[in-house]
Amino acid sequence: MNQNNQFISLICTLVSTLVVGLVFYFTDYVSNEGFNPSDDGVVLAQSYRIINGEIPHKDFISIRPVFSGVLHTINFASPLPLIISGRISVLFQFFIFSFIWVFILLKHFFTLKSKSKYAIIFSITGISVFVLNVNTYHLYPWTTIDGVFFSLIGFSFLIKLFSLKISSSKKDFYITIALFLFSIAALCKQNFIFLTAFIFLFIIYFYIKEKRLRVLPIVMIAGGLPFAIYLIMLISTGSFQYFIQQMTGRTEFFETGILRYVKSFLKVRFLPLNFIVLFFFFFAFLDRIKPNFISKKNLLPYFSSEKKSIWQIAILLYFLMTIYAAFRIFLGNDYLSITHEAFWILLILFVMVIYIKACTKTQAAIIIFTIILSWVTSISLGANFPGYVFGILISLNFILINQINNKLQLFVFSISQKKVLPCYFAVLVSLLFMISILGQRNTNYRELPASNLTENLGELFPEFGNLKTNPATFNYYSDFKKLYDSNPKMKGHFVLLPNNAAIYPLFDSPNPFPLDWMQKDEYVGTEEHLYEELEKILENEKVYILIDKFNSKQMASEIIEMNYEDYSYMKIIKEKCRKVQTGSEFFDVYLSGK
């Protein structure tokens, strides 16, 4: 890609940012997301602790590395209300890595000589990938989003090593930056260590192949510097043992990284087609190893480029399913199954392009990176789906469909050949963009549709900005505000359990407990440490403990009495504290200390 296209990409990104920003502003996109008092604010609460000088893993429990907490301290420097600042920064991250991704795709999969055509395709593809990545899931700062952000920026540097026009010294520089950014991604969430380790091993292979082993140690040490800095911090602060304990407490890898993916494959809508395709291509690849194997079994015609009917049917179905998935994500709550559909379609298409040799080494590297990135983003007991990279999956699926079509000359039109395609594409993306706005309004994360968000949380707390919410959540926070305002001694001496991590930075009130979101999955493996710390605090400090009477996660849709059978620490609180009669509708209040 020439320098002109790089400049055009930058200009188009800036213009698209302005256009999307104005649309979001006039449609109240951020405020219409609503608010749920559960995991919204977990990262910001961690950032607040770091700003106040607390030592990660020692002074507070974190089952993830804390670079996301470090990163989002920048939100506290913004003049915007904290929650609004956090959400805008997330949209900015999605926007940046979506357009970086499109730049990579157009550079390595297409040759577009027309500047105007390039500008149109780059802009509308970038916007479509952006809205699909955002989809209807949450907008608050989160570790996985940060990991994807740094991984994609890192990959934009890493991909340069395949270029024949770049000198070895420049490649060393780009690889070092890439490894540095992938290391940061792993320090946002430990899932990304799988991707980072794969990249590091690939770089070792690259330098061995290039016979430049003298440079390798320098590149590896410089690229892995974030790990070294983090390790020094852990050792110097005496928090290394806590870090190990907190990182090894959760054992969801097999369950969410393997078992659930196997289950998702068995639940996809195109399961019969996927099985048939994989069955045939198993024998096809076997033929590469054992020549004439297919011929003996009379299977050769099915793989022949001369007999296109089988290919046409399969590609058409995958094409239609990809379009369906792109729109369906905004029209329902089944984003978990839809995103897995896109993942498995990508895997099937990759098998196809490898068999017909329809991709270069660089293109194959892009596909493999996407598959691994999608997989690591979904290793979680919570958000166990590749939703944060959904737009990346969808766009690459379309690209591979086009690659197969160009190679075999099927009936599906070629993106690179149709002169009028940008016009049709623009209409399709405009429709997708409008549906994404409506989808966000109708499918908010743990909230009611935007039309039912009749209350403004900013009326209670300025740091919410003009964020809208449902009447139940508004009444919930109104009740809390009455309790807080009635007792000035509560600032810096209260906790709100078991959710509401955002409340501490919002009130500029340090949390006396070592954990902000007091859910079991957030302290697995560190139970003993948490209980010991709680007993010390409750015996020696005066802390107001506000406990939800109702399940605040589901408060938007229904009022359900909270069941605390699985919250072992509640027994410690009730034994060490005395109950205070407040007449509160939503909270039981306890007071610790002598």
Gap between the Cα atoms of 174 and 152, Å rounded: 14
Contact 46, 62 (CB under 8 A): yes
Q: Would you state the pLDDT for residue 471?
A: 93
In the chain, the amino acid numbered 466 is: N
Which residue's structure tokens are 């009379």? 298
Tell me which H or E stretch contains 239.
none
Joined tokens for residue 103: 């730049």
Classify residue 409 as left (phi > 0), alpha (psi -120 to 50) or beta.
Answer: left
Q: pLDDT for 478-516, tens place per residue?
A: 999 999 999 888 888 999 999 999 999 999 999 999 999
Positive/negative CA dihedral, 225, 386, 353, 95: negative
Contact 149, 97 (CB under 8 A): yes
Q: Would you state the pLDDT for residue 314?
A: 84
Q: Would you state the pLDDT for residue 407?
A: 82
Taking the alpha carbons at both ends of the chain, their separation in whole angstroms is: 71
Gap between the Cα atoms of 341 and 267, Å rounded: 9
Q: What share of the chain is helix, strand, coil (3-state, %, to 5)?
A: 65, 5, 30
Q: Would you state the pLDDT for residue 272?
A: 83
Q: How far is CA 511 from CA 45, 280, 549, in A?
A: 9, 59, 20
Considering only the C-alpha atoms of the chain, give the largest distance between any 2 of them, rounded to a whole number of Å.
Answer: 86
Per-residue confidence in pLDDT tens, the chain, 594 aa: 556 678 899 999 999 999 999 988 988 888 888 898 888 899 999 999 999 999 999 999 999 999 999 999 999 999 999 999 999 999 999 999 999 999 999 999 987 777 888 888 899 899 999 999 988 778 899 999 999 999 999 999 999 998 888 999 999 999 999 999 999 999 999 999 999 999 999 999 999 999 999 999 999 999 999 999 999 999 999 999 999 999 887 656 777 777 777 887 888 887 888 888 887 777 666 666 666 655 555 555 555 555 677 778 888 888 889 988 888 888 877 777 888 899 999 999 998 898 888 889 999 999 999 999 999 998 876 667 888 999 999 999 999 998 888 887 776 554 445 555 556 666 777 778 788 877 777 888 888 888 889 999 999 998 899 999 999 999 999 999 999 999 888 888 999 999 999 999 999 999 999 999 999 888 888 899 999 999 999 999 999 999 999 998 888 888 999 999 889 999 999 999 999 999 899 999 999 976
Using DSSP's 3-state secondary structure scheme, residue 265 falls into helix
Using DSSP's 3-state secondary structure scheme, residue 37 falls into coil
Gap between the Cα atoms of 155 and 547, Å rounded: 45
Q: Would you state the pLDDT for residue 292?
A: 63
